[in-house]
Structure 1
Amino acid sequence: MNMEPEPSSAELTKDDPSSSRIVHRLAVLSVCLVWPLIWVGGLVTTYDAGMAVPDWPNTYGYNLFLYPYKTWLLGPFDLFIEHGHRLLGAVVGFVAIGLAVAAYLKETRRWVFWFAVAVLLAVIFQGALGGIRVVQMSRTLAMVHGCFGPAFFAACVALAVVTSRSWRDSCPADRGQSAITELAQVPRSTVILGLVLVALGYTQLVLGAQLRHVQPTMRPDGFATIVVFHVVTAFVLWSVTAVGYWRMRKLKSCCGDLTLWRPAAALIGLVLLQIVLGTGTWVANYGWPTFLQGFPGATGFLIRAKGFWDSIVVTAHVATGSLILAVSTMIWVRSWRLRYCSQSASEVANET
């Protein structure tokens, strides 16, 4: 006979996903909006359109939302993407406000509410950073703005993970003693591996930002050093990703867990795609390497103006880097959750 007391209603709703469903949906919406925002921001840098609108927070003296849409849609392309970047950033800000309000009203976990507040403060900071960059015409602030955007994207992904139903379902021990055996045993090394993926992914973004926003005072040998570190870090990241995939596959085979294996499989493909896009970015920016100049199509000269497809390749390289960071963050957060739940389940099993 089961003599354990029935859980109270407060305990049942503590991690009940239905109590924060709106929070999760808004978090997912923010993720779906921030990645296109990164794409458009990447286009702004690729086309050197950051100063297409010289004032801020207005647009040529107009309120941001009252700027004539015909002038925006039918005007120069650099104006189109710069003003569009501002509008999309404002939409993300409104979603972040709604996310914080929903977390305050619906979430029973106070730390999730404060997480949502941190996301709101981050998007305000990012918007102000972009505006000050325009006012001061600072290339350094543009680089910082480009580095902070992917970090904000990763934070939105983490918030979407912790408010999801799978976050609660990853702890079957909370639902009864009979479900403990279903829990995947995640070693600490897997959590550390996820953190290493996040660190490597963000290091790649920082190095890439220095290459995209080259300072006038940078020496050629300094630029070459950053390029070497950027390339080496890419292959290190790919190697660590392969190790992570192997470890997550073991979890899948022994416990049937897919919450880590699927993102790890996607991450391998993303890193390989990123390496290919990085090669295309180099060709678009600087021409073919010297040792390839004998091949057909290898022009061997510096490309001074990017065509449409060149710009797409360069911007896709930037956006894929942010996506790698986001998926790495998802793996790290989920692995930590499974690790925590497996430890809790072991404690419950030992007590019984």
Structure 2
Amino acid sequence: MLLVCTTFPLIWVGGLVTTKKAGMAVPDWPNTYGYNLFLYPVSEWIAGPFDLFVEHGHRLLGSAVGMISIALVVAIAIWDKRRGMLTLSIISLIAVIIQGILGGARVIQDEVLLARVHGCFGPAFFALTVGLAVATSKRWHSIQPVVHPGSGRLQVITVITAALAYVQLLIGSFLRHVPASGSHSDFRVAVIFHVIVAFLVAVSVFAVAATALRGFSEAVAVRRQSMFAVLIVLVQIGLGIAAWTFKYGWPTFLPGGEMFSQLVIHAESVAQAGVVTAHVATGSLIVGVTVAMALYSFRYYSTSPASLVPQVADKSTLRGVSL
């Protein structure tokens, strides 16, 4: 859980780096203006320009996530005897290393494509940390799977929902990192698809909630998470409209434009940066929650009676001590 709780703020700060166009505030990597990353003077970091403060802070927080990932691998190797968990923890460590290299390459090359890949890979890593937290939780170990005739439907819907949520992030990344060669029509098409997929994500999340609440009383975690997903999707829709309004004005396809006709938002203002960054981070949160729903839907229900033989974890298994 510690890894999840540090990765999510990292996504917030990373989103702020992009929003404030601070990605090139520190021109070298892995150093910071010639200093070792961890030896850069705190006084210069705190008192320096805001873009430097954000970018260097992003690097420090990313390093902390990397260290926690190393600790997680060690902890699972010692206390959790499930081979798959050790493999997943190693994959997460490799993923955070790759993400760090992508971030560094983005600085060295100053390339929009690398910035986009870096922005898409972060939420994928966050989803992986959520999966690790779920699989090492007390709730996960306490669940006794049962056979349910409609479980396949619930599992399919949750997987589709998680996939749609991530696809939505990919489209959003294109809108955030528009290439120099991109045309107005390319941007318009991306916006249209972003709106369409947002609608599909909302419908899918509501479908999961309706399905889980109607006939799956055993799946307590899925039911609770589906309701939380409904809430954050509604918040995300509001943030999306607000982000567009703060950057481009009130959407012309929505009523009430006259109310905002005199609204003036300064580019890269605190309000604009806060709303846009919150929209980005909430998108990653939706991915994390939907991944957790999908995992729990498979944990609660088995497709065959033969698979109900419990795989008892070793007493030394991590139980709720997920780093």
State whether TM-score is above 0.5.
yes
Q: TM-score, normalised by structure 2?
A: 0.90
Partner of 2:92: 119
1:80 paired residue among 50, 53, 57: 53
Q: For residue 163 of structure 1, what is the aligned residue in structure 2?
A: 136
Q: 1:191 to 1:256 in 2, by over 3 A?
A: closer
In structure 2, the CA distance between the partners of 1:343 and 1:311, relative to structure 1 (3 Å rule), is farther
Q: Which residue of 2 aligns with 1:295?
A: 258
Higher relative contact order (CA 8 A, sep 6+): 2
Matched with 1:46 is: 19
Distance 1:244 1:71 in 2: 49
Q: Which residue of 2 aligns with 1:244?
A: 208
Unmatched 5+ stretches in structure 1: 1-27, 173-179
Paired residue for 1:175?
none
**Is contact 1:241–1:264 with CA below 8 Å preserved after alignment?**
yes
Is 2:73 the counterpart of 1:100? Answer: yes
Inter-partner Cα distance in structure 2 for 1:229 and 1:214: 15
Identify the residue that residue 175 of structure 2 maps to in structure 1: 211
RMSD of aligned alpha carbons:
2.0
8 Å contact kept, 1:34–1:153: yes
Aligned counterparts of 1:222 and 1:300: Cα–Cα separation in 2: 27
Q: Distance in 1 between matches of 2:156 and 2:252?
A: 40
The one-character-per-residue Cα deviations of 1:6-49 (angstroms, maximum 9, x if unpaired) are xxxxxxxxxxxxxxxxxxxxxx0000000000000000000000
Q: Deviations over 1:231-254 (max 9, x none)?
A: 0110111111111101110245xx
C-alpha distance in 1, partners of 2:277/2:283?
10
The aligned counterpart of 1:154 is 127
Q: 2: distance between equivalents of 1:236 and 1:242?
A: 10
> 1:347 & 1:78 partners in 2: Cα distance?
55
Matches within 5 A, 1:1-352: 28-171=1-144, 187-252=151-216, 255-290=217-252, 295-299=258-262, 305-340=267-302, 343-344=305-306
Deviation at 1:338, TM superposition (A): 1.5
Query: Does the CA-based 8 Å contact 2:151-2:303 persist in structure 1?
Result: no
**Which has the greater radius of gyration?**
1
CA contact (8 A) 2:218 2:300 kept: no
Q: Give the direction of change, closer, same or farther, for the CA distance of 1:67–1:225 in structure 2 (3 Å limit).
A: same
- Structure 2 residue aligned with 1:18: none
Q: CA deviation at 1:85?
A: 0.2
* 1:197 partner SS: helix
2: distance between equivalents of 1:88 and 1:201?
25
Mapped partners of 1:117, 1:100: distance in 2 = 6
CA contact (8 A) 1:187 1:339 kept: yes
Residue type at the aligned position of 2:208? G
Question: How many angstroms apart in 1 are the aligned matches of 2:150 and 2:143?
Answer: 12
Q: Is the 8 A contact 1:186 1:335 kept in 2?
A: no
CA deviations over 1:50-103 (Å, ceiling 9, x no partner) = 000000000000000000001101111100000000000000000000000111
Inter-CA distance 300–73: structure 2 relative to 1 (3 Å threshold): closer
TM-score by length of 1: 0.83
> Runs of 5+ in structure 2 lacking a partner?
311-323
1:207 partner letter = I
Q: What displacement does 1:222 show?
A: 1.3
Contact in 1 for aligned 2:15/2:280 (Cα 8 Å): yes
Whether contact under 8 Å (1:185, 1:338) holds in the other structure is: no
Match of 1:17 in 2: none
CA distance in 2, matches of 1:76, 1:226: 33
Between the two proteins, what is the percent identity of the paired residues?
45
1: CA distance between counterparts of 2:209 and 2:130? 20
Which residue number in structure 1 is paired with residue 321 of structure 2?
Answer: none
1:296 shift after superposition: 3.4
**Structure-2 separation of matches of 1:199 and 1:95:** 27
